Amino acid sequence: MIRAVLVDDEPNNLENLKIMLANYCPDVSVIGEAASVRQAIELVSLLDPELLFLDIEMPGESGFDLLSQMKSIRFEVIFVTAYNNYALKAIKFNALDYILKPIDTTDLTEAVKRAKQRLADKSQVEFTRLALQNLQLPCKSKRIALASADKIEFFDIHTIVRCLGENNYTRFFFENGESCLISKPLSEYEELLSDFDFIRVHKSHLVNGYKISSFIKKDGGYIITSDGCSVPVSRRKKDELLERMKILLK
């Protein structure tokens, strides 16, 4: 049995999640419910649960605030959120797990299944801890969590030179010449890295703006990245690229 605590400011949501867990996830036992961040902190401290279902948007303090106030984190988290791009972005950025409201039964059972696997694997628990710490870092010092086939790792964003989209996969190329293949489409990372001056120069290429060494006009336009690779620039993206580079130069 996974001992879980639910955190949501709306009693209806708490009740609903509890019923759905009872119906679809018999191996989760709800040992506590909290309606605010402060309540949750006390409750979690006391009950030491293994799993936290955490609503993000609550009046006063958000679910993220809760995590930042915990002295140590010894549980897995499944975020529960309605519609909030900003928070979802942060969650995806750290490869954390979430479900959307209204709750889809398959989403719920899958998320619980994954949490169970993570709980069974020590290294995964450690990852969650790292991810939750990273979540609270100021934007510019953040690292991104990339989940490849066998592991999840954190990378400094400024070490990423470029990303190459290959169907449902994205290959990351790093400063030190290494690369890794991640099973998520490029468009997802275009979104996640948009605040870090990454530029989509081509339908298959996303490039770190700070790693562009030069722009060559020949052959329909391409750029040379700091690792010496040439990356094609699509016709439609050329103007945008130059605009963005001007801003970066300032």
Partner 1 sequence: MSKLKLNLRPALFTFLLIAWGCTPMKAKNTDHSTFLFHCERYEEGINHFEGTKYLSLSFLIKTQSSRREQIYTAKLQKAIVSYSHSSGRNTSRYYESGDWVSTEMPGYLELAVRFLERNPVIFGFHSGQFVLENGDSLKTAFDKEVKIFYPGTLIRPPGQNDEFFSFDQFLNIFRNIRQDLPDDLKMPGDLSLRNGVVYNYRNAFNDLQQIEITDSRNHTRSIVYVRPGSNRLKYKKEQSLRVQTIIRAIETGEPSIRVAGLMPKERNKKLQYIIEGASPLVPAQKILVHADSTGKFSILLDHDFPVILTSSSGYRFYAEPGDDFSVTANQRGDSLFFTGIGAGNNRFIQEEARLEKFPKMDYHSRSNQTREAWFRKADQSTNRCLVLLKIYQNDLTPRFYESQYLNYYFGKINRKLDYLFGYVELNQQGIRKRKYTGLDTIPAQYQSFVYNREFNKFLENNFILQFEKLRDFTYATNFQSTEIPTQPEMLRLAALSYSGKILRDYFEFAVQRIDRSGNADDKTVLKNLIQEYFDNTPFQTKVLQLLEKASLLETGSLFPDITFKDLTASDVRLTQFKGKLLYLMFWRNDALVLDKQWDEYQQLIKTLDAKNVLFVTIGMEENFDKWKKYVEAMPVNGMNLFVDRNSETFLANFSRLKSRHFLLVDGSGIIVNNNGPDPSVANLLISQNPGSSGKEKILTATLFCFLAILIILGMIGIISRTRRKRKAKIETLLNRLRETELKAIKAQMNPHFLFNSLNSIQNLINQQQVEAANMYLSKFARLLHAVLQHSEKEFIPLAAELETLNLYVQLEKLRFNFDYQLSVNPSIDIHNSYIPPLLMQPFIENAILHGLQPKQGEKKLGINIEENDKQLVCTIEDNGIGRNGSQSKKTDHHGMGNKLSIERIYLLNQKNESNFKLSIDDRESGIEGTRVTISFTNNLI
Residue 137 CB, nearest approach to partner 1 (Å): 15
Residue 91 CB, nearest approach to partner 1 (Å): 12
> Would you say 145 or 225 has its CB closer to partner 1?
225
> Would you say 117 or 176 has its CB closer to partner 1?
176
What are the residues whose beta carbons fall under 8 Å from the beta carbon of 11, sequence distance 6 or more?
35
> Would you say 21 or 44 has its CB closer to partner 1?
44
What are the residues whose beta carbons fall under 8 Å from the beta carbon of 153, sequence distance 6 or more?
145, 146, 180
Largest alpha-carbon pair distance within the chain? 66
Please state, in angstroms and rounded to a whole number, the distance separating the CA atoms of residues 197 and 5.
39
> Would you say 11 or 179 has its CB closer to partner 1?
11
Residue 32 CB, nearest approach to partner 1 (Å): 4
**Interface contacts to partner 1, rule CB under 8 A:** 20, 30-34, 38-48, 57, 59-61, 65, 69-72, 83-87, 100-105, 107, 165-168, 185-187, 200, 202-204, 210-215, 217, 226, 234-237, 242, 245-246, 248-249
Question: Which stretches of the chain are assigned E, i.e. beta strand?
Answer: 2-7, 28-34, 51-55, 76-81, 97-100, 143-147, 152-156, 160-166, 169-174, 179-182, 198-202, 205-208, 212-216, 222-225, 230-232
Residue 121 CB, nearest approach to partner 1 (Å): 19
